[in-house]
Amino acid sequence: MRLVLLGAPGAGKGTQAKKIIEKNAIPQISTGDLLRAAVAAGTALGKEAKAVMDKGELVPDSVVLGMVEERLKQDDCKKGYILDGFPRNTKQAEALDIMLGKLNMSLTAALSVDVPFESLMKRLTGRRTCKACGQMFNVYFNASKKDKICDKCGGELFQRDDDKEETIKKRLDVYSAQTAPLIDYYGKKGILKAVDGGSGTIDEIFVKVCKALDLK
């Protein structure tokens, strides 16, 4: 299965991707995670990316496309993958089509996780991530049992720099202007599947995801 995950920041794409992986052992390729790894490693690319990310804007297409192309060539992608947070605009989507053509691959589906705009703010400002294992919590809906400590591995929880309120508004604006048009892009290709990610628990939403993707 080769999947593109679409949805606004805070829609729960990453969370649903992790659930899909539990059923289908394929890699989750999150351009946000790849960029954050470059930031943490302090590479030149990471330093350049951090300034853009902290403003809530998109990192230049050339940077992201190079990273994705390298990643898709790795062996573990032969059995499929989930692209999470990529493509982010029409130019990236077109470049992905060309890249996949060269690699003799085609997308199985584009899954859009739809969440009303009003809910996204709380989801994003409340989001906390484990430094050690990446597990996500939310101080409003799904708090860890001990403050700032991961229930799963005991690691320290942190708030992403770009989950601060000032940056979030910008990220949501960027999503509406640049990423939301991809729903139409994949709709026209006939591979769009949409699920309501705005109500219900993570597991209830996952049931809808499985139905939409015909996951057994």
Active-site positions read: 13, 88, 127, 160, 171
Rg of the chain on CA atoms, in Å: 17
CB of 141 to ligand AMP, least distance (A): 18
Kindly state the tokens that stand for 26.
């394929």
Site string for ligand AMP, 100-129 (x = CB under 6 A): ------------------------------
Task: Verify binding: residue 137, ligand AMP, rule CB under 6 A.
Answer: no
Whole-angstrom distance, CA of residue 180 vs CA of residue 198: 16
Contact assessment for residue 93 and residue 175, using Cβ atoms and an 8 Å cutoff: no
- Considering only 6, 8, 9, 112, the residue that binds ligand AMP (CB under 6 A) is 9
| b/e map 55-76, b = 16+ CB within 10 Å | ebbbbeeebbbebbeebbeeee
Site string for ligand AMP, 65-94 (x = CB under 6 A): --------------------xx-x---x--
Quick one: DSSP state of residue 161? Answer: G
Q: What residues line the site for ligand AMP (CB under 6 A)?
A: 9, 31-32, 35, 52-53, 56-59, 64, 85-86, 88, 92, 162, 171
